Amino acid sequence: MDITRLQPAGLVVSPAFSHVAIVPPGVTTIYVGGQNGIDAAGTIVSADIAEQSRQAVDNVATALNAAGASLSDVVQWTVWIDAAADLGDAYGAIAPRLAGPGAPPLVTAARVAGLGVPGALIEVSAVAAVIPASDRVP
């Protein structure tokens, strides 16, 4: 059993993202709601987009860990970046952590006018899929 990520002919091929993910029956799917660059007390970690971005992904990792998964299990990322923030700094801080082993995950990103948490410059959510240990392909 394996999760299949596709980059079909006729669509752009990118090392950063795939277009389709096929998750087989029997796999545990984990949904992580939007995470900002905040600490455990709910305080924005910095006014710097790169630091907020790293913290947001750290927060996703913490949530996934609580559900028995890791960043390498992420099938799809959704990233919202404040329109005033530097896109290059944000993406540069998190891009290496978005991709797991094999073909890259699906990624949706958007520039937005603002986020729900005052001072937040980024929000990241994820969908992960964990194959039961007995069904993993070696």
Closest C-alpha among 30, 28, 9 to residue 20:
9
If you average pLDDT over residues 91-119, what whole number do you get?
90
Closest CA to 104 of 37, 17, 44: 17
pLDDT computed for residue 1 by the predictor: 73
Cα first-last separation, the chain:
10
Q: Report pLDDT for 106.
A: 93
Q: 89 pLDDT exceeds 70?
A: yes
Residue 108's pLDDT is: 95
Is the pLDDT at 117 greater than 80? The verdict is: yes
Mean pLDDT of 88-106: 87
Residue 24 has pLDDT above 70, yes or no: yes
Q: In the predicted model, is pLDDT for residue 137 greater than 90? A: no
Residue 108 Cα distances to 66, 101, 102, 103, angstroms: 24, 19, 19, 16
DSSP letter, residue 115: -
The answer to whether 2 touches 104, Cβ cutoff 8 Å, is: no
Q: What is the value of pTM for the model shown? A: 0.90
> What mean pLDDT value characterizes the chain?
92
Of the candidates 47, 9, 3, the residue with the CA atom closest to the CA atom of residue 26: 3
Average pLDDT for 8-14: 92
3-class DSSP state for residue 95?
helix
Average pLDDT over residues 46-61: 97
Give the confidence band of 129 by pLDDT, cuts at 50, 70, 90. very high
Count Cβ atoms below 10 Å from residue 7 Cβ, excluding itself: 15
Does 58 score more than 80 pLDDT?
Answer: yes
- pLDDT of 136 over the 70 cut: no
Mean pLDDT of 107-122: 96
Secondary structure element (H or E) that encloses residue 69, with its range? none
